[in-house]
């Protein structure tokens, strides 16, 4: 993955759509002066660049001096944001409320207190309808200020009413804040560490949850309180690999939006994330029918205006739909067919590389490697795993460990025996250092070390012994992650049966009732 530019103005301009660029330039040229024309020149220069390079920028635009550049960029940045604000305000509840507050302050500063209060009343209703309690708090604060400074006679007992409303909103915001903090901390733990590795991890994560879980959250009713409550339980269950609980809370998460459809427009990102997690839950539980049903629902959502007119939502939907489509091939055992998705997804990843975080790219590389492994293309598998192994980062230690283990097995499949001794030691040391060695991984290492030079006559018996040992671990809570990241059971069955691994998985899929219907 190439290094991404960190220049804020360059990233902002690159995020603009054609209509937004045109609107900005028309607005600037309408009031053009010498400085404005330089801004347009700078805008065009940055728009044409593939990567930000200040030296080349100044070299190709002689009218702009190095001394001017910093101030010019800051001014251009503000102008682009102002331009976007004017054309996007009807689509965003935050911007609408912010604009109404501006109007209320303007009227207040002119001494028109009753008019200001009328706007604030309308803001309160709008904020309540869309669960925007931070804005509601601002409105109440402003109302109290007006009532404290001026006798408006706008309502009897207004002081008591405003005090009561303020206290209710403060309590509500405090609970929302506590639950959102808990959800974020749990998600952050997963991004850094992955699934719980042992009883110690489970004890740590349970203790953290209990310590930070608010007593008042045991019975909540508001939209945001429920949203962050379900997310917190969702991450807790996922970390502990309790996939049934994970499914239950992701379903509650998505159902919350079904019960509050107007909030899909307000919190689109949370809805998209919820759909992604629900698809992941169905995948983990191998609920094929439900997986397909949710995938179809998500694909229909992709065409809604809230996605097509918002670049951030569009990118998120692309990422999560792509993961789901790959997972569908994993379930069905159609790995060779699934590899056809990879070039299309990679092309989009390159297009969106300025906006994608490292964790998402890491997950895609592992998905690509896994689908090529399933198809029997071990060379390409190794290519993608090398991208992960050589990419120095402190994210998802579990994914980095399994990348190394799959890398080792891919070399074993290719018969690169000269490399295996070195790789054994390297991978074992890495996983041991990460405290990542489970019973399953220990058994795999022992088997590979003992058998990679074994004769074909004795090898089948070794495969059968390992399969028998690993099947006993499938219900062990702390061993399930090995089977989630690497379908070692199907791989062993393929070696014993002398058939490709995707043939084994496909046969299992077609063996269930749903598979038989679609055969």
The structural domains of the chain, with segments of one domain joined by +, span: 8-90, 93-155, 354-519
d(Cα 260, Cα 69) in Å, to the nearest integer?
A: 48
The tokens for 118 are 């009328």
Using a pLDDT cut of 90, give the percent of the chain over it. 43
362: enclosing H helix or E strand: helix 358-375
What confidence tens digit (pLDDT) does each residue in 383-429 have?
999 999 888 766 667 788 888 888 988 998 898 888 887 888 888 78
Rounded to an integer, the average pLDDT of 440-447 is 80
Q: Is pLDDT at 516 greater than 60 in this prediction?
A: no
Q: Residue 435: pLDDT band by 50, 70, 90 thresholds?
A: low
The pLDDT value recorded for residue 157 is 73
The pLDDT value recorded for residue 60 is 86
Mean pLDDT of the chain: 86
HSE-up (13 A, CA, CB side) for residue 297: 16
What confidence tens digit (pLDDT) does each residue in 209-254 have?
999 999 888 888 899 999 999 999 999 999 998 999 999 999 999 9
When computed from its CA atoms, the radius of gyration of the chain, rounded to whole angstroms, is: 28
The pLDDT value recorded for residue 89 is 55
The pLDDT value recorded for residue 7 is 85
The pLDDT value recorded for residue 31 is 61
Rounded to an integer, the average pLDDT of 357-367 is 89
Q: Residue 35: pLDDT band by 50, 70, 90 thresholds?
A: low
Taking the CA atoms of 31, 35, 37 and 40 in sequence, report the sign of the dihedral they define.
Answer: negative
Q: Is pLDDT at 144 greater than 60 in this prediction?
A: yes
What confidence tens digit (pLDDT) does each residue in 291-311 have?
999 999 999 999 999 999 888
The pLDDT value recorded for residue 390 is 87
Rounded to an integer, the average pLDDT of 127-145 is 91
Q: Residue 154: pLDDT band by 50, 70, 90 thresholds?
A: low
d(Cα 68, Cα 37) in Å, to the nearest integer?
A: 14
HSE-up (13 A, CA, CB side) for residue 422: 5
The pLDDT value recorded for residue 383 is 96
Which of the pair, 518 or 156, is modelled with greater confidence? 156
Rounded to an integer, the average pLDDT of 24-40 is 71
DSSP SS3 for 479: coil
Lowest mean pLDDT among 92-96, 211-215, 255-259, 481-485: 481-485
Q: Is pLDDT at 113 greater than 90 in this prediction?
A: no
Q: Is pLDDT at 108 greater than 50 in this prediction?
A: yes
Long-range contacts, stretch 397-400, CB < 8 angstroms, 24+ apart? 397/192, 397/193, 397/194, 397/434, 397/436, 398/193, 398/194, 398/195, 398/197, 398/436, 398/481, 398/485, 399/194, 399/362, 399/363, 399/366, 399/485, 400/430, 400/434
Rounded to an integer, the average pLDDT of 332-356 is 92
Domain 354-519 maps to which CATH number in 3.30.70, 3.30.310, 1.25.40, 1.10.3470?
1.25.40
pTM given for the model: 0.81
Q: Is pLDDT at 3 greater than 50 in this prediction?
A: no
Sole residue written with tokens 């560490």:
193
Which of the pair, 238 or 29, is modelled with greater confidence? 238
Rounded to an integer, the average pLDDT of 106-117 is 88
Nearest alpha carbon to residue 357 among 232, 191, 235: 191
Residues in Cβ contact with 118 at an 8 Å cutoff, skipping those fewer than 6 apart:
none
The pLDDT value recorded for residue 515 is 43
């Amino acid at each position: 993955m190439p290094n991404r530019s960190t220049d804020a103005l360059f990233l902002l301009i690159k995020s603009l759509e054609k209509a937004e660029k045109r609107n900005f330039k028309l607005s600037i040229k309408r009031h053009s002066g010498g400085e404005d024309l330089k801004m347009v020149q700078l805008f065009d220069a940055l728009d044409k660049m593939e990567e930000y390079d200040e030296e080349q920028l100044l070299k190709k635009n002689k009218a702009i001096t190095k001394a001017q550049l910093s101030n010019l960029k800051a001014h251009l940045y503000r102008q682009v944001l102002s331009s976007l604000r004017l054309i996007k305000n009807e689509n965003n509840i935050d911007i609408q409320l912010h604009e109404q507050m501006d109007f209320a302050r303007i009227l207040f500063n002119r001494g028109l207190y009753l008019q200001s209060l009328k706007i604030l009343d309308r803001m309160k209703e709008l904020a309540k309808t869309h669960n925007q309690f931070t804005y509601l708090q601002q409105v109440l604060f402003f109302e109290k200020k007006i009532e404290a400074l001026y006798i408006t006679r706008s309502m009897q007992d207004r002081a008591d009413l405003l005090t009561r409303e303020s206290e209710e909103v403060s309590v509500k915001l405090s609970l929302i804040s506590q639950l959102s903090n808990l959800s974020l901390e749990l998600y952050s733990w997963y991004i850094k560490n992955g699934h719980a590795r042992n009883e110690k991890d489970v004890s740590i994560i349970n203790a953290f949850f209990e310590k930070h879980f608010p007593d008042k959250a045991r019975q909540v009713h508001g939209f945001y309180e429920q949203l962050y409550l379900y997310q917190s339980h969702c991450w807790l269950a996922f970390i502990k690999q309790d996939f049934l609980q994970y499914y239950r809370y992701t379903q509650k998460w998505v159902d919350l939006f079904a019960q509050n459809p107007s909030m899909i427009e307000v919190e689109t990102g949370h809805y998209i994330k919820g759909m992604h997690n629900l698809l992941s839950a169905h995948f983990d539980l191998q609920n094929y029918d439900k997986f397909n049903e949710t995938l179809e629902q998500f694909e229909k959502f992709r065409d809604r205006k809230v996605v097509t007119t918002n670049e951030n939502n569009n990118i998120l939907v692309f990422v999560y739909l792509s993961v789901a489509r790959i997972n569908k091939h994993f379930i069905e055992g159609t790995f060779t067919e699934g590899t056809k998705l990879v070039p299309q997804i990679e092309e989009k990843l390159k297009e969106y590389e300025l906006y994608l975080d490292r964790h998402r790219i890491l997950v895609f590389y592992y998905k690509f490697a896994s689908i090529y492994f399933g198809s029997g293309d071990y060379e390409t598998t190794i290519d993608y795993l090398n991208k992960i192994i050589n990419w120095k980062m402190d994210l998802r230690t579990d994914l980095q460990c399994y990348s190394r283990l799959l890398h080792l097995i891919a070399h074993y499949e290719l018969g690169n025996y000269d490399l295996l001794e070195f790789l054994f030691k390297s991978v074992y040391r890495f996983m041991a250092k990460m405290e990542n060695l489970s019973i399953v991984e220990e058994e795999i290492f022992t088997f590979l070390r003992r058998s990679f030079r074994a004769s074909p006559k004795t090898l089948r018996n070794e495969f059968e012994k390992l399969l028998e040992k690993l099947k006993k671990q499938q219900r062990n809570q702390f061993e399930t992650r090995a089977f989630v990241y690497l379908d070692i059971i199907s791989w062993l069955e393929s070696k014993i049966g002398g058939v490709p691994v995707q043939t084994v998985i496909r046969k299992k899929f077609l063996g269930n009732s749903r598979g038989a219907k679609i055969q």
